[in-house]
């Protein structure tokens, strides 16, 4: 598809017939937020892109999952935290 993953799946869920969503279902720490990144610090300071989540963010990711978030981004391809998410 020509749509990035972070758009594709949310669009399918949000456009389900008789479905009305007023909530954001993705979990993203922004680089410029007070929360910041725990695992990987960005090369540029205080930009507007998403943080790269990793093992040090596990508690926050786990809590977000309990609160109904369906998506998290972004991760490095080889980070073991992705396996933790699948196992949970």
In Å, how far from its chain's centre is CA 7? 12
Is 1 part of a structural domain of the chain? no
Q: What is the chain's pLDDT, residue by residue, as a tens digit (88 residues)?
A: 576 666 676 676 666 665 555 555 555 554 444 455 666 655 555 555 667 778 888 887 788 778 777 667 778 888 888 788 778 7
Question: Which residue segment(s) compose the domain that 64 sits in?
Answer: 25-87
Residue 19 counted as domain residue? no
Q: Is residue 68 part of a domain?
A: yes
Question: How many domains are there within the chain?
Answer: 1
Whole-model pTM over 0.85: no
In a domain, 15, yes or no: no
In a domain, 6, yes or no: no
In a domain, 12, yes or no: no
Three-state SS for 40-72 is CCCCCCCCCCECCECHHHHHHHHHHHHCCCCEE
Q: How many CA atoms lie within 13 A of 42 on its CB side?
A: 17
Asked if residue 66 is part of any domain, the answer here is: yes
């Amino acid at each position: 598809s020509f749509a990035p993953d972070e758009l594709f799946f949310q669009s399918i869920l949000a456009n389900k017939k008789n479905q009305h969503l007023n909530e954001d279902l993705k979990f993203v720490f922004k680089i410029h937020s007070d929360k910041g990144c725990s695992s990987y610090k960005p090369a540029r300071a205080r930009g507007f892109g998403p943080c790269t989540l990793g093992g040090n963010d596990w508690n926050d990711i786990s809590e977000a999952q309990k609160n109904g978030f369906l998506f998290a981004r972004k991760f490095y391809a080889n980070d073991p935290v992705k396996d933790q998410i699948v196992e949970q």
